[in-house]
């Protein structure tokens, strides 16, 4: 069953390694596997915890280096929120933006081809070549606004 997760990503990584004359390693594969299984928006610390359940000997440094590698290979993207970096798988995923709840930290994804299109238009106008973007909308999710309302109005 392990082999059914992220087949394609593993190939992408392997190709990247060959192309750049880098070497394979068991650690990288374990980390990639954990990263892909973890779902989205993991921090380094979280990923380290997950990985170490399988292989307790893997070091924090290797997580950092692997995530950087995954980014370079186009497999991961980084989003910084609240003082620490978080990463999410990038491969084969629709492009999307993020709603981030400032109370519970939950991240909701959304996408809007319309927004993408507008961006492109503006970029063309100023001669800017888009390579990526980070669109984070900050606020309160339904759950947290409801909870706050139930708790009574806030004093100012």
- Positions in the binding site for a copy of itself (CB under 8 A): 80, 99, 101-102, 108, 110, 112, 114-115, 118-119, 122-123, 126-142, 145
Q: Is 13 in the site for DNA (CB under 7 A)?
A: no
**Sequence-ordered list of residues with C-beta below 8 angstroms from that of 130, at least 6 positions apart, any chain:** 119, 120, 123
Q: Is 85 in the site for DNA (CB under 7 A)?
A: yes
Q: Is 105 in the site for DNA (CB under 7 A)?
A: no
Q: Is 53 in the site for DNA (CB under 7 A)?
A: no
Could you give the angle at which helices 44-54 and 26-37 cross, rounded to 10 degrees?
120
- 29-49 as b/e: b if 16+ CB within 10 A: ebbbbbbbebeebbebebbbe
Identify the residue among 8, 11, 15, 22 touching DNA (CB under 7 A): 22
Q: At its nearest, how many Å lie between a copy of itself and the CB of residue 26?
A: 29
Q: Is 25 in the site for DNA (CB under 7 A)?
A: yes
Quick one: 53 or 154, whose CB is closer to a copy of itself?
Answer: 154
Q: Is 11 in the site for DNA (CB under 7 A)?
A: no
**Sequence-ordered list of residues with C-beta below 8 angstroms from that of 52, at least 6 positions apart, any chain:** 58
Q: Residue 75: name the closest of 65, 87, 83 by CA.
A: 87
Interface residues toward DNA, by CB under 7 A: 17, 21-28, 43-45, 57-62, 64-66, 68, 80, 83-85
């Amino acid at each position: 069953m392990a082999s059914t997760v992220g087949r394609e990503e593993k190939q992408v990584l392997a190709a990247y390694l060959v192309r750049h004359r880098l070497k394979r390693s068991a650690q990288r594969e374990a980390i990639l596997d954990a990263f892909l299984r973890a779902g989205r928006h993991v921090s380094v610390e979280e990923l380290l915890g997950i990985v170490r359940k399988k292989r307790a000997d893997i070091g924090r440094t290797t997580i950092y280096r692997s995530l950087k590698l995954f980014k370079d290979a186009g497999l991961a993207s980084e989003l910084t929120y609240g003082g620490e970096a978080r990463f999410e798988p990038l491969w084969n995923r629709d492009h999307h933006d993020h709603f981030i709840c400032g109370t519970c930290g939950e991240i909701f994804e959304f996408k809007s081809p319309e927004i993408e299109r507008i961006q492109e238009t503006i970029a063309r106008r100023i001669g800017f070549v888009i390579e990526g973007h980070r669109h984070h909308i900050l606020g309160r999710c339904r759950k947290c606004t409801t909870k706050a309302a139930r708790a009574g109005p806030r004093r100012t």
